[in-house]
Amino acid sequence: MDASPPNPQEPRCSGVAATRLAPSPTGQLHLGNARTLLLTWALARHLGWRILLRIEDLDPSRTRDGDIERCIGDLTWLGIDWDGAPAIQSTRTSVHLHALDSLARAHAVYLSAHSRSQIRRASPEQDALHAPHGIASVVRFPPELRPPHPGPEWIGTASAVRDAQDANLRLAVGAGTERVDERAGVPFDADPLALFGDPIVWTKADLPAYHLAVCADDIAQGITDVVRGEDLREAAALHARIWRALGASPPRWWHLPLLMDAQGQRMSKRQGSLTVASLRDAGATPERIAGFCAWSAGLHDGELVPLSPSSLVAMATGRAIADWSRAPRAGELGSRSTLDDRAIGWLHAR
């Protein structure tokens, strides 16, 4: 596989604001995913942004036959549409390799064969890290474990990675803070090295890692506004650093509050939370799901009512989304962000 530059024919959104819907097709979409995706879509349509669909199936071992079609089917059923053909992340290796190659040529990546327990011992505070999607096993890799530079572990081109066995490739993250241009809240500064240490950018299974792939794809696709769940807010500081290392100006970010279940836990695919498919099978309508999303995000002051896609778009102003995201748990909105029996009953009513 070579690290040729991204295909110049790739549809790119130059000059227009653009966002992406980036679901992972592993497991079924749950109501929390649906809310984030529907509100992203409605905000983008309200503001006239282009919308790209990118299916994030980086890890083929976790994607089963039919998962991508099921995911696209759920989105379509919800009333979500997008501009152009869907991009399938696992087919974009040349884009990811090209990004890896630029980092390697800047002497910013190195091979690391450290085991998880070696890293844990060197970085005991890592358990406090708020990991992407709550994967508590994300381990902060402390810079003290970097190999001496210069040295044989520092890779000069992406092609050298393919020969490496049993080692992950990590990005040497420099010290200092990054500004995250947060639009669904307030812009903030955060230190990606303190939060994440040196993240894996290419795995020993010869796959691009999430942090590299998401930045390389967003840049190559011309994304200006990244809208996603607030569990990835801290990751934006690392992503801003990677964007700049790849020669691009970071985008604007909109991190939206997560939907909580009745126990106050955020919904997760792993726990088999209420899925779009189970709602559909039980007779729930897309209009009720859209109505629930608007009500729970405080886009109107009234009671729960079914909504058409165009009504949802009309309500999803940048101001409304930002106001909700700044104070998602305050007052009345706090209880609306928890999926209680009344809301579940309403969603299922015919």
Point out which residues bind ligand GLU (CB under 6 A): 22-24, 56, 214, 228, 232
Residue 166's SS3 state is: coil
Measured from the CB atom, is 193 or 232 closer to ligand GLU?
232
Beta bridge partners of 256: 229
Minimal distance, residue 24 CB to ligand GLU, in Å: 4
- In sequence order, what are the beta bridge partners of 197? 141
Q: Closest CB to ligand GLU among 22 and 131?
A: 22
Whether 197 contacts 142, CB under 8 Å: yes
Instruction: Decide whether 256 or 290 has the Cβ nearer to ligand GLU.
Output: 256
Residue 34 tokens read as 């649906």
Q: Closer to ligand GLU at the Cβ: 153 or 218? A: 218
HSE of 250 in the Cβ direction (CA atoms, 13 Å)? 20
Token pair of 54 as six digits: 């990118």
Which one, 212 or 214, has the nearer CB to ligand GLU?
A: 214
Q: Which residue in 336, 338, 346 sits closest to 282, CA to CA?
A: 346
Nearer to ligand GLU among residue 32 and residue 197 (C-beta): 32
To ligand GLU, the closest distance from the beta carbon of 214 in angstroms equals 5
Q: Which amino acid is at 95?
A: V
Residue 217 C-beta: closest distance to ligand GLU, Å: 9
Among 272, 251, 322, smallest CA distance to 39 is for 322
CB of 228 to ligand GLU, least distance (A): 4
Alpha helices in 20-66 (DSSP H): 31-47
> Minimum CB separation from ligand GLU for residue 40, in Å?
9
Shortest reach from residue 268's CB to ligand GLU, in Å: 11
CB of 232 to ligand GLU, least distance (A): 5
Q: Are strands 200-202 and 225-229 parallel, antiparallel or unpaired?
A: unpaired
Q: Cα–Cα distances in Å, from 100 out to 2, 192, 223, 248, 276?
A: 11, 18, 19, 14, 36
End-to-end CA distance of the chain: 53
Using the minimum distance from each CB to ligand GLU, give the nearer residue, 241 or 288. 241
Q: Write down the least CB distance from residue 260 to ligand GLU, Å.
A: 17
Contact 245, 198 (CB under 8 A): no
Nearer to ligand GLU, 80 or 214 (CB): 214
Distance CA 230, CA 132 (A): 9
- Look at phi and psi of residue 84 and say left if phi exceeds 0, alpha if psi is from -120 to 50, else beta: left
- Minimum gap (Å) between residue 297 Cβ and ligand GLU: 18
* Nearest residue (CB) to ligand GLU, 135 versus 330: 135
Q: How far, in Å, CA of 69 to CA of 83, rounded?
A: 17
Question: How far apart are alpha carbons 219 and 184 in whole angstroms?
Answer: 21
